[in-house]
């Protein structure tokens, strides 16, 4: 990479291009990120046509806009001719209107019509990630004719490894893998070899559900049907991997009390980013005052035994962490399909047992620590330790139950996120703490 920069500086473009044209498009796209806008545009123009399209499809939105604004209509046509159909749609989904216009002017009238149809599919639908570049066969084709057909039409297809068998009205009759075609006799007929009960999705299906099908059935691609069961596209596994990753990212964001977003961090403005975080922080800030009010309610106790205040942060944090452990486990388990609704009772009984072991252990450790290192009385140590124990048990049960309730109510369990659970558990922990203090340290102590 150092060498390339050297070649560029010395304007030895010919040598530079020879080297670049030898790279994989994914590596080039990464290299291009390192360049400034002008360098990027100059070098991009020097790439082979196919490679240029490949690199382009892997660039960030901003870089794509810069490039399209910098090249001629002819250049745009070259670029588009090498792009897969679904990449074209992706591109147009994200572009500012004036750039999108410039792009659309350079596709054929027919293609423009289909692209515009595809642009209408909702953002998280199967329709918005499908491509029209698949191989279709007819039931009456022989294997040898099917192979001939694949050879003739396959070059520009996203995949040829699964072919789709349709009738004259484009209704899906079945699917057949290239493996089955290759393995069969030349005279065999597609209709006899195909899998009739093929798994398919609808344009309006949610992308996450489609991803779940890929995982369950180990698919490489899936046919997408309209509401009259006509084949209008396919979804391939490379796009599904992106969906799986976005899904995980969404859950991470929600559990950290942020609105989920598919936008790129670097190209999103400061105020949009701030907005996505303020709402939840505000909700949680206000709900944390509940905890504050509990402290306010028991102020007389704290006045009499101010040393009790010292343990409040530890109790709050331990409860919050213990609850977050359980809720994370359940939320993730449900997200990847490992935990089903019928497991509810099994989970609760297991979490109860785990919480007893964890609670007793940490309660004892805490008791010893307070006696030995904090120099407090046995009754204070006892108050704190019993609170630790009870808080952990309650926190784990709350953390397990809330996501399950959320799902039953049709809400996203990740939305009932860790911080919200924390607030609930904080309140529980403090109520326990002060009431135990009253019982163990004796009401008389606080009378004066």
Residues 377-396 that bind a second copy (CB under 8 A): 388, 392
In terms of CB distance, is 124 or 321 closer to a second copy? 321
Q: How many CB atoms lie within 10 A of CB 271?
A: 9
- 5 forms part of the interface with a second copy (CB under 8 A): no
Which of 16, 245, 221 lies closest to 130, judged by CA? 221
Residue 106 or 398 having the CB closest to a second copy: 398
| Cβ 205 to a second copy shortest distance, Å | 18
Binding a second copy (rule: CB under 8 A), the pick from 37, 346, 377, 411 is 346
Closest CB to a second copy among residues 205, 247:
247
**Contact between 140 and a second copy per CB under 8 A:** no
Q: Does 293 bind a second copy (CB under 8 A)?
A: yes
Q: Does 4 bind a second copy (CB under 8 A)?
A: no
One residue of 17, 42, 76, 150 binding a second copy per CB under 8 A? 150
Pick between residue 15 and residue 317 the one whose CB is nearest to a second copy: 317
Question: By the 8 A CB rule, do 301 and 447 touch?
Answer: no
Q: Which of 119, 288, 305, 431 binds a second copy (CB under 8 A)?
A: 288
Residues 306-325 touching a second copy, rule: CB under 8 A, are: 306-307, 309-314, 316-318, 320-322, 324-325
Q: Which of 42, 119, 166, 302 binds a second copy (CB under 8 A)?
A: 302
Treating both helix axes as pointing N-terminal to C-terminal, what angle do 378-408 and 312-335 enclose, rounded to 10 degrees?
A: 30
In the complex with a second copy, which residue's Cβ is closer, 278 or 439? 278
* Residues in 54-83 at the binding interface with a second copy, rule: CB under 8 A: none
Given 10, 26, 98, 408, the residue binding a second copy (CB under 8 A): 26
Residue 284 binds to a second copy (criterion: CB under 8 A): yes
CA distances from 63 to 37, 40, 140, 239 (A): 8, 9, 48, 21
- The residue among 49 and 346 lying less far from a second copy, judged by its C-beta, is 346
Instruction: Let me know: does 106 contact 95? Beta carbons within 8 Å.
Output: no
* Candidate residues 35, 46, 295, 397; the one interacting with a second copy per rule CB under 8 A: 295
Name every residue whose Cβ is closer than 8 Å to that of residue 34 and which is 6 or more positions away in sequence.
Answer: 1
Structure tokens at 310: 């010292």
The reply on whether position 98 binds a second copy by CB under 8 A is: no
Beta bridge partners of 176: 163
Least gap, CB of 344 to a second copy (angstroms)? 12
Q: How far is the CB of 98 from a second copy (least distance, A)?
A: 26
Q: Least distance in Å: CB of 250 to a second copy? A: 10
Q: How many residues does the chain have?
A: 448
Q: With binding defined as CB under 8 A, does residue 207 bind a second copy?
A: no
Closest distance to a second copy from the beta carbon of 358 (Å): 5
The answer to the question of residue 258 lying near a second copy (CB under 8 A) is yes
* 426 interacts with a second copy by CB under 8 A: yes
The reply to whether 48 sits near a second copy by the rule CB under 8 A is no
21 is a site residue for a second copy (CB under 8 A): no
Q: Which is nearer to a second copy, 46 or 314 (CB)?
A: 314
Selected range binding a second copy among 75-83, 124-132, 287-295, 434-442, rule: CB under 8 A: 287-295
Q: Return the half-sphere exposure (C-beta side, CA atoms, 13 A cut-off) of residue 205.
A: 22
CB 250 within 8 A of CB 385: no
**d(Cα 417, Cα 257) in Å, to the nearest integer?**
7
The binder of a second copy chosen from 48, 101, 179, 230 (CB under 8 A): 179
According to CB under 8 A, which one of 286, 405, 411, 439 is a site residue for a second copy?
Answer: 286
* Residue 375, strand partner residues: none
Window contacting a second copy (CB under 8 A); options: 11-19, 223-231, 292-300, 436-444: 292-300
């Amino acid at each position: 990479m150092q060498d390339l920069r050297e070649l560029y500086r010395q304007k030895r473009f010919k040598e530079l291009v020879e080297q670049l044209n030898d790279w994989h498009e994914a590596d080039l796209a990464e290299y291009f990120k390192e360049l400034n806008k002008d360098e990027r545009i100059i070098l991009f123009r020097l790439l082979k046509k196919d490679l240029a399209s490949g690199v382009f499809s892997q660039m960030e939105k901003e870089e794509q806009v810069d490039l399209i604004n910098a090249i001629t209509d002819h250049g745009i046509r070259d670029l588009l001719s090498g792009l897969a159909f679904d990449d074209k749609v992706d591109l147009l989904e994200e572009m500012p209107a004036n750039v999108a216009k410039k792009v659309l002017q350079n596709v054929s009238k027919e293609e423009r019509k289909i692209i515009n149809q595809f642009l209408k599919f909702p953002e998280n639908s199967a329709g918005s990630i499908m491509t029209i570049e698949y191989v279709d066969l007819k039931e009456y084709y022989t294997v040898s004719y099917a192979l001939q057909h694949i050879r003739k039409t396959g070059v520009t297809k996203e995949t040829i490894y699964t072919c789709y068998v349709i009738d004259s009205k484009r209704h899906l009759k079945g699917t057949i893998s290239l493996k089955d075609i290759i393995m069969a006799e030349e005279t065999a007929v597609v209709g006899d070899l195909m899998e009739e009960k093929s798994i398919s999705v609808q344009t309006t299906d949610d992308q996450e559900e489609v991803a779940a099908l890929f995982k369950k059935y180990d698919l490489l691609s899936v046919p997408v049907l309209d509401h009259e069961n006509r084949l209008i596209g396919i979804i391939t596994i490379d796009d599904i991997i992106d969906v799986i990753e976005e899904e995980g990212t969404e859950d991470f964001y929600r559990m950290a009390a942020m609105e989920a977003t598919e936008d790129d961090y670097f190209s999103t403005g400061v105020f949009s980013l701030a907005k996505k975080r303020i709402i939840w922080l505000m909700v949680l800030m206000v709900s944390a005052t509940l905890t504050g009010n509990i402290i306010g309610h028991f102020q007389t106790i704290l006045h009499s035994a101010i040393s009790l205040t010292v343990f409040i942060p530890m109790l709050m944090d331990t409860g919050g962490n213990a609850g977050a452990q359980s809720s994370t486990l359940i939320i993730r388990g449900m997200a990847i399909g490992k935990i089903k609704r019928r497991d509810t009772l099994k989970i609760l009984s297991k979490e109860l047992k785990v919480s007893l072991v964890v609670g007793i252990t940490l309660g004892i450790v805490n008791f010893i620590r307070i006696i030995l290192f904090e120099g407090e009385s046995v009754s204070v140590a006892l108050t704190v330790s019993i609170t630790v124990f009870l808080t952990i048990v309650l926190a784990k049960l709350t953390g397990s139950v809330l996501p399950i309730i959320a799902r039953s109510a049709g809400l996203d369990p990740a939305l009932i996120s860790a911080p919200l659970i924390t607030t609930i558990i904080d309140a529980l922990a403090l109520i326990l703490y002060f009431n135990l203090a009253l019982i163990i340290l004796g009401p008389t102590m606080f009378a004066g």
